[in-house]
Every structure is written in C-alpha cells, then in structure tokens.
C-alpha cells in the first residue's frame, strides 16, 4: 500500500499530490520516519514536512517508539475499551439460560422479562432486544418461523370493528372459548377440550380447564367457580359454538346464555365466520397450543397440571407488550360484583304480565299455549300487550321479540333495555 493510500488519506492530502514513499507496508514507512529522527541530521519539523505529515503526528509516533520500541508502531484498534452494547459473559450466560427456560419468548419478551423481574441484577445491564436477538441467532437458539399471508381482515383487532363492547377496565368484558380439541397420550388417548376464559382488558387468564366434552353442565360448573373467586363481569364474549350458543334457538341463545343474563351478564356473540372479533383470544390459543399441548400429556390429570403451570407463567411472569411490559396479575383487579348463590329475581315493569315457561318451552296467554324456547323452562318472562294483537316478550332486561296473537307467530327481536 502506498503512502498516498495510508498517510495521505489520514492528513487530507489530495490524491494528485506526489508522495516520495512507495513502500507497500505502512510499518516500513514509520520505520523510515523513526530512523530519520534518530539520525538527528534534521529538525523534526523538517522531517515531518518531508514525510508530509503534521508535527503532532510525528511526535506521536516518536513517543510510541520511545515507550514501546518497534512493536509500538503497529496499528492499534480504535474500538472503545468499554463498548456500550457489548454483552459480558455473565449477561450472555443469563440470557441463554432464560431462553432455554422460555423457548417461546422472543428477544423483546426476554428483554421485558428481565426489566420487570431482574432490573440491573447484581449490577448487570441488560442489552437492547436487538442485541439479544443477534446473540440468540449466533447461539442457534432462534427458530425461524414460516411467514403466513393472512387476509387483512384477520389482522384487525376486535376493538377496531366499533361494534363490540369496549374493555375500559378489568371485568368489563370477559372472553371465553374452547381451544381446538386434541388427543391425549401423544395423540393416542382420549380427546381433551380445553376451556379458556380471559379478561379482555388485563389479559388475565382465569381458567384453562381440560374438559372431556363441551357439554353445558361441566362448563357451567367452571364458570360458577370463577364467579365465586373473581366476581361477575358485565359482558361475556364468545363465538357461536356450543355450549355458548345454540344454533337452532332464536338469537342463538342457549341455557348458558340465559343463566348469564339472570346474573346480570350480557352475552355477546361474535359474527359467525369472523373470529377476528375475538382476536385477542384467538391469538392466545396459538400461544397455548405451542406452550402446553405439544406433545400432549398421558391423561387429564397430567394435562391439567401442565395447564396450571402455564397459567401461572402467563399471569405472573410473562410480560405483555399491550400492558407496557408488565404482567396481567399486576393489572387485574377482582370484580366488585359478587356471585349470588341464589339467583336474583327478574324485575319487570308494573304494566307487564309475568308468566312461567313450562318444561316444554311454552307459556299460557288467555288459556292458550304459546311455544317460546325449552332453554327457558322454569323461568319467568314479562309480557306487555300492545295494540293490534301484539305482545312484547322480555326476559329480564333483554327483549326477546314480539308475539302476533292473530297469526300465533313469534318474531325474535333481541334488544337490551336498562334496569331502570
């Protein structure tokens, strides 16, 4: 390398300036300069002019030679001794251990976990998530994911539709769903149906219960336990599958829905074929599938134990981006609405006539039976007679529809009314 390619660039000389040195090694050029200084035939200022370098640079090389000999003339690294982004062995060891403990956590989640649970532990400073990502790639701890081209509509959150209840604070909206069934004993045993219940605001996971079916009674039993422990929500959002809804009933309302209404909880069914309206819950199921069902356990007891362990991690350890890096357990608060062991009475306006639904799903009006729904068997409904032989039928604060006495035909028309 010529002097023009080394010293010239350093001191800003234009490429067209001729230079006397033609040696290819910068080390040889420095040796020649030092030799000229040691001969003492010229003042160092003139020597620097001859070599076309500044006096300051010449003095620097001469000082290096006097302090360290010829070895001191070698190029030195300009990298800072204490690099701000350098990962120390202690930090590297902790990051690798944490990734192995939580293999599904990405760099951002790992960084939030450390900031939340181990801020500056033992004086260690945690690197940025990008640096953590580079480290995990170098260590072979990152699994490449295949990209999926999802429809734009699927990516919308349920809050963007403008048609669903807003979860401003905990217990405004609970969401419930069954994760797809799977077989225990690594695909060779009984089918397991995991029931999951979440708080939409805090993302708190109330239940992840391994059930043997989607029958109403065991599901109702789970919700009774949850209501006793956490209180009552205002809205329960679900899809249109059983047991949350009954496809052949008016309004798709089944026994579970009417029980919620009796407790003062409003059932909210998403639009059929649009799971994005319960998008947060659907996204949770993808995480649950990877973390707690692959591979499946040998029996229900073992699988439930695994679900319980995941619930604890999800609620108390895993930081959530939507919660600004904290955990659901630090955000969620119990509902002030307690669960009544005895169902409260339904209140109707004074002008309403009250009738009971018999076991066949019918009620009597002017000595004539009118069928409504078997799901309301044993329940009391309110009837308000209007003009033109029309009767408005309500169940609590929910208007069910209108009965045309002349045609003996019931027309569903679900509308909510206030308690006043």
Ranges of each domain in the chain:
3-73, 89-138, 152-330, 353-416
Predicted confidence at residue 11, as pLDDT, reads 38
Query: Looking at the chain, how many residues does it have?
Result: 420
* Burial of residue 324, with CB atoms counted within 10 A of its CB: 0-12 exposed, 13-18 middle, 19 or more buried: exposed
Query: What is the DSSP code (8-state) at residue 245?
Result: B
Q: What's the rounded Cα separation, in Å, for the pair 268 and 281? A: 14
What is the mean pLDDT of each successive set of 10 residues along the chain, which is 420 residues long?
Answer: 40 43 65 84 85 87 85 71 68 83 83 82 77 82 58 35 80 95 89 96 96 96 97 96 88 92 94 88 91 92 96 94 92 96 91 94 91 92 88 94 90 79
Predicted confidence at residue 146, as pLDDT, reads 55
Q: Which helix (H) or strand (E) holds 195?
A: strand 191-199
417: helix, strand or coil:
coil
Residue 239: CB atoms within 10 Å: 22
Encoded tokens for 255: 């026994």
Encoded tokens for 324: 């600004």
Beta-carbon contacts of 213 under 8 Å, excluding residues fewer than 6 positions away, are 193
Q: pTM above the 0.75 mark?
A: no
Strands (E), 251-326: 266-269
Q: What's the rounded Cα separation, in Å, for the pair 323 and 331? A: 8
Encoded tokens for 391: 């009767």
Alpha-carbon dihedral sign for residues 76, 81, 84, 89: positive
Please state whether beta strands 398-404 and 409-416 pair in parallel, antiparallel, or not at all (unpaired): antiparallel
Is 280:273 a contact under the CB 8 Å cutoff? no
Residues 189, 195, 198, 200: what is their CA dihedral angle, to the nearest 10 degrees?
A: 110
Predicted confidence at residue 77, as pLDDT, reads 66
Beta-carbon contacts of 112 under 8 Å, excluding residues fewer than 6 positions away, are 319, 321, 325
Residue closest to 139 by CA, chosen among 98, 82, 85, 84:
98
Q: What's the rounded Cα separation, in Å, for the pair 378 and 358? A: 6
Is 168:233 a contact under the CB 8 Å cutoff? no
Predicted confidence at residue 85, as pLDDT, reads 56
pLDDT in tens, 182-212: 999 888 889 999 999 999 999 999 999 999 9
Alpha-carbon dihedral sign for residues 134, 137, 139, 142: positive
pLDDT in tens, 71-111: 888 877 665 555 555 788 888 888 888 888 888 888 888 88
Residue 331: CB atoms within 10 Å: 18
pLDDT in tens, 22-58: 444 677 788 888 888 888 788 888 888 888 888 888 8
Predicted confidence at residue 285, as pLDDT, reads 93
Is 287:310 a contact under the CB 8 Å cutoff? no
Q: What's the rounded Cα separation, in Å, for the pair 238 and 275? A: 10
What is the fold, at CATH topology level, of the domain defined by 152-330?
A: Nucleotidyltransferase; domain 5 (3.30.420)
């Amino acid at each position: 390398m010529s002097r023009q390619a080394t010293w010239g660039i350093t001191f800003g000389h234009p490429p067209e300036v001729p230079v006397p040195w033609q040696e290819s090694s910068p080390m040889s050029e420095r040796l020649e300069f030092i030799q000229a200084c040691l001969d003492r035939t010229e003042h160092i200022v003139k020597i620097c002019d001859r070599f076309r370098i500044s006096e300051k640079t010449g003095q620097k090389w001469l000082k290096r030679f006097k302090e360290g000999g010829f070895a001191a003339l070698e190029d030195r690294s300009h990298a800072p001794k204490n690099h701000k982004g350098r990962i120390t062995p202690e930090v590297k060891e902790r990051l690798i251990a944490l990734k192995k403990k939580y293999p599904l956590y990405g760099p951002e989640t790992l960084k939030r976990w450390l900031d939340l649970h181990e801020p500056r532990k033992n004086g260690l400073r945690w690197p940025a998530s990008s640096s953590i990502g580079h480290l995990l790639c170098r260590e072979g701890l990152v699994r490449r994911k295949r990209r999926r081209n999802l429809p734009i509509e699927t990516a919308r959150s349920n809050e963007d539709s403008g048609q669903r209840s807003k979860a401003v604070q905990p217990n405004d909206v609970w969401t419930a769903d069954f994760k797809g069934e799977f077989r225990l004993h690594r695909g060779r045993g009984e089918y397991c149906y995991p029931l999951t219940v979440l708080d939409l605001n805090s993302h708190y996971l109330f239940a992840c219960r391994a059930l043997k079916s989607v029958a109403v009674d065991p599901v109702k039993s789970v919700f009774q336990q949850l209501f006793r422990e956490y209180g009552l929500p205002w809205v329960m959002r679900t899809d249109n599958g059983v047991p949350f809804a009954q496809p052949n009933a008016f309004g798709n309302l089944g026994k579970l829905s009417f029980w919620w209404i009796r407790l003062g909880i409003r059932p909210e069914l998403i639009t059929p074929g649009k799971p994005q309206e319960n998008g947060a819950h659907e996204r949770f199921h993808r995480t649950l599938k990877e973390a707690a069902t692959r591979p499946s356990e040998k029996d229900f007891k073992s699988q439930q134990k695994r679900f319980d362990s995941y619930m604890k991690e999800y609620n108390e350890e895993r930081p959530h981006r939507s919660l600004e890096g904290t955990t659901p357990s630090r955000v969620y608060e119990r509902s002030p609405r307690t669960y009544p062991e005895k169902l409260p009475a339904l209140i109707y306006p004074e002008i309403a006539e009250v009738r009971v639904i018999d076991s066949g799903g019918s009620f009597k009006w002017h000595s004539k039976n009118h069928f409504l729904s078997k799901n309301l068997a044993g329940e009391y409904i309110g009837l308000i007679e209007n003009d033109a032989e029309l009767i408005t039928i309500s169940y609590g604060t929910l208007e069910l529809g209108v009965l045309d006495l002349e045609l003996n035909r019931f027309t569903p028309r679900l509308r909510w009314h206030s308690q006043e």
